[in-house]
Amino acid sequence: MPAADEAGREDARAGESQPRHQASLGTVLREWGRIGCIGFGGPPAHIALLRKLCVDREHWLDAAEFEDAISACNLLPGPASTQLAIFCAWRVRGRLGALAGGVAFIVPGLILILALAALFLAGAAPLWVKGTGAGAGAAVAAVAIQAGWSLLRPSWTRARKAGSWRRVRWALYLLAGGGAAAAIGPWLVLVLLGCGLTELAVRHPHRTGPDGTPGPGSAPGPGFAPRLTLPLVMAPGAGRAAGAAIAAIAAGGLAALAWTAFKVGALSFGGGFVIIPLLRADAVGHHWMTNGQFLNAVALGQITPGPVVQTVAAVGYAAGGVGGGLLAALIAFSPSFVFVLGGARYFGSLRGNSRAQAFLDGSGPAAIGAILGSALPLTAALSQPWQYAVLAGALLLLLGLRRGVVLTLLAAGVTGLIIALAGGPLPH
For residue 38, the tally of other CB atoms under 10 A from its CB is 13
Per-domain boundaries in the chain: 21-205+252-421
Distance of alpha carbon 66 from alpha carbon 47, whole angstroms: 10
Query: Smallest Cα–Cα separation from 268: which of 331, 321, 316, 226?
Result: 331
Is a pLDDT exceeding 70 seen at residue 38?
A: yes
Highest mean pLDDT among 343-352, 378-387, 389-398: 389-398
| Lowest mean per-residue pLDDT among 99-108, 163-172, 181-190, 288-297 | 181-190
Is a pLDDT exceeding 50 seen at residue 212?
A: no
The chain-wide mean pLDDT, for the chain, equals 82
Kindly report, residue by residue over 251-263, the tens digit of the pLDDT.
Answer: 457 899 999 999 8
Q: What integer pLDDT is reported at residue 32 of this predicted model?
A: 97
Q: What integer pLDDT is reported at residue 270 of this predicted model?
A: 65
Q: What integer pLDDT is reported at residue 121 of this predicted model?
A: 84
Contacts of 167 (CB under 8 A, 6+ apart): 159, 160
Kindly report, residue by residue over 326-340, the tens digit of the pLDDT.
Answer: 999 999 999 999 999
Q: What integer pLDDT is reported at residue 20 of this predicted model?
A: 64
Per the CB < 8 A criterion, the answer to whether 78 and 336 are in contact is: yes
| Lowest mean per-residue pLDDT among 64-78, 226-240, 250-264 | 226-240
Q: What percent of the chain has pLDDT over 70?
A: 82
> Whole-prediction pTM value?
0.77
Q: 386 or 187, which is more confident? A: 386
